[in-house]
Amino acid sequence: MSAYVLVHGGSVDGTVWNGLRPLLEMRGHRVFAPSLSDERMNGLSAHIGEVCSVIKGNGLEGLILVGHSYGGMVITGVADRLSALIDRMVYIDAALPDSGQSLFDLFRAAGIDPLSFEGLAPYPPYVEKIVFNPWILATIPKAYIRCTLSVFAPIGLMARDRILSRLDEDHWGYFEIPSDHKPMQSMPGRLLEFL
């Protein structure tokens, strides 16, 4: 069985996975869903470090690293640091950054004002730019699950276009689910099929 590390998005905590977590555990998987520290006080680097600590502290290897929404930024940074421990990455309606981008940069690249969304403010993790080695991430099999009814549709569409242009070279899989932005709550059984 596998170990899953589930990384939540902004303005929520690890309990957002409560509908999905038992479904994975019933199948014998180990599941870790840490709550990231306060986004008003800590930045992206701190959140990456927190998830790395969970992985190292529990002796995890061969794991499946899952990021939802802003969590896509976090898992990208974690994979850059701990690629040898990760078997697969899954982005769920998530930020898919290039090195040197922040979450807010992704919104602007999609033609969206990030401040137009409730709960998004220029907190440290959202404006901190991530720096990583794309060659390291290219070696890890990855999947992107775009939620077709998401309020963040432009971000998912931008990720889709990027992924479909390089499916073969970067070990990508691309899937769509007819869900709102939080399928782990609205469609946990369907999401489980992809995981």
Q: What pLDDT is attached to residue 169?
A: 64
pLDDT digits (tens, 9 = 90+) for 133-166: 999 999 999 999 999 999 999 999 999 998 888 7
**Count of structural domains within the chain:** 1
Residue 64, domain CATH? 3.40.50.1820
Write out the two tokens for 42: 């800590």
Determine whether 195 is exposed, middle or buried from the number of CB atoms within 10 Å of its CB (0-12, 13-18, 19+): buried
118 conformational bin, left if phi > 0, alpha if psi -120 to 50, beta if neither: beta
Q: Which stretches of the chain score pLDDT less than 70?
A: 167-170
136 contacts 129 by C-beta, under 8 angstroms: no
Q: Is the pTM of this model over 0.75?
A: yes
Q: Residue 10 and residue 107: Cα distance in Å, rounded?
A: 14
**In which domain, by residue range, is 32 found?**
3-194
Active site residues: 69
